[in-house]
Chain A
Amino acid sequence: MSTQDKVIAIIAEQAVLEPSDVTLDSTLEDLGIDSLGLVESIFAIEEEFDISIPFNANEPEKSDFDISNVAAIVAGIDKLILEKA
């Protein structure tokens, strides 16, 4: 599975949706993922890709990690994987 497919699977599971219902331009809000769901998704992504995502729930907008939609999340993960390599 590609990064994109894995991320969509994680987010779909969190949102209790089918992966086919999650598109690249979906926002977490569109998918009904709240702040707790977001923190859980980030944890699942960190575990899946063995990376550390800089994210503080108190100031999500200041984080280097863009969570504005699924595409941004996938891009952020690809960048973190590259930095790690």
Chain B
Amino acid sequence: MKRVVITGAGTINALGHSVPETLAAMRTGQCGIGELDFRDVERLAIKIGGQVRGFEAEGRFNRQQMSLYDRFTQFTLTAAKEAIEQSGLEFHGELSAKAGVVLGNSGGGMQTLDENYRSVYEDGKNRVHPFVVPKLMNNAAAGHVSMQFNLKGPSFTVSTACASSNHAMAQAFQMVRSGMSPVMVTGGSESMLCFGGVKAWEGLRVMSKDACRPFSANRNGMVQGEGAGIFVFEEYEHAKARGAEILCEVIGFAMSSDAADIVMPSKQGAARAIAGALQDARLDASEVGYINAHGTGTAANDKTECAAVADVFGPHADSLMISSTKSMHGHLIGGTGAVELLACIMALRDGVIAPTIGYEEPDPECALDVVPNEAREARVDVALSNAFAFGGLNAVLALRRV
């Protein structure tokens, strides 16, 4: 088996338009969640979200590209450019033939759907733009990344709701670890902050009207975000041979299915994914210093996740740190694991643990060190990233400091 390292990272989300901006915001515990700004927002009961501000597609993309890129594709391409530039890789010849892109995404081109449904249903128009289908399909972003960067190997999109990015990155990891490909571009993106997207979530009655406060006793639900996180996963010897800067090593993963309920999380399912990742990475539980939690801020997730962590880690659960950065950037659904992986990289590489902001009251059912409100300096050798999706589909990644 090959060793797999990360040699490039890129992002755009409510905290920043790049990795340095995002990490700086996480260090200072900034909140990217605010009043939503889009058409018909006044008809929503939920009016807050982690919206990307100041992102002008015009100027970044030409007219032809704009007619093909939904906002989730725009985010993906922006983050992929940052990640691939950082890696210093250019894809030609054999590398190009073997390198691919595996991305997570849940809603596809929701903005495109919203705009075009409005046009045909509300405005009564009988004609839509010819590129509606290639713009809204879930794999559009992966397709455009492959074209833009000349990635001709295995490429596809994984859709497992809130675990999409983790499932995608686990796939990319497997491909590099097995020797199938020396380099894979991976991560995920989402953009459902539009009237139809938020209205659909409102229906479940699990959204907060004021803030995302994971693990806090007074938490009252999740808050949606949007954006992308993209990484370059590279075979270790390949990276070393070209003198690439290594951000961290990916050492294992596990996936599990609750096979229980379509929305309610299961402690056993989550615990099996966490324990499975430790086993796959050949880790002793005591080596884990930080967990980036799924931490949605709902009543159900946070207590279930803490119970799963307590079960897997036993007494060590009290000495590790676990935080939810969703408190700052919101829940990016299919892109969330990718943006949250940045917090793991910051913990391993910079020794800075991103906080859980908005934490106000201890909850006895979430009695772990959730790094409340302020970032902390700590040396961490191993970090995990949790994602537990609707459908009961779970994926956990394990990373090590290099």
A residues neighboring B (CB under 8 Å) = 35-36, 39, 42-43, 52, 55-59, 62
Contact = CB atoms under 8 A, between A and B. Distances in A.
B299 interface: yes
**Most chain B beta carbons < 10 A, residue from A35, A52, A58, A62:** A58
A36 B207 CA distance: 15
B205 A39 contact: yes
B198 to A, nearest CB: 15
A36 B263 contact: yes
B203 A56 contact: no
A23 B207 CA distance: 32
Contacts of B200: none
A55 B220 contact: no
B221 A58 contact: yes
Interface string B316-329: 00000000000000
A58 B303 CA distance: 12
A36 B300 CA distance: 12
Nearest to A54: B45
Interface in B72-120: none
Interface size class of B (residues with CB under 8 A): 10 to 19
- Majority secondary structure of chain B interface residues (helix, strand, loop or mixed): loop
A52 B219 CA distance: 22
Given A39-B204, A39-B205, A56 B221 contact: yes
Contacts of A52: 45
18 contacts: A36-B262, A36-B264, A39-B203, A39-B204, A42-B205, A55-B205, A56-B206, A56-B208, A56-B220, A56-B221, A57-B205, A57-B206, A57-B298, A58-B206, A58-B208, A58-B221, A58-B299, A59-B220
Interface string B198-222: 0000011111110000000001110
Contacts of A59: 220, 299
Given A39-B204, A43-B203, A58 B298 contact: yes
Nearest to B297: A58
Nearest to B301: A58
A39 B205 CA distance: 7
A47 to B, nearest CB: 12
A84 to B, nearest CB: 16
Given A35-B264, A36-B263, A58 B220 contact: yes
A43 B45 CA distance: 14
Contacts of B221: 56-58
Interface string B34-70: 0000000000010000000000000000000000000
A3 to B, nearest CB: 22
A31 to B, nearest CB: 18
A62 B203 CA distance: 18
Contacts of B203: 39, 43
A29 to B, nearest CB: 15
A36 B223 CA distance: 19
Given A35-B264, A36-B263, A57 B204 contact: yes
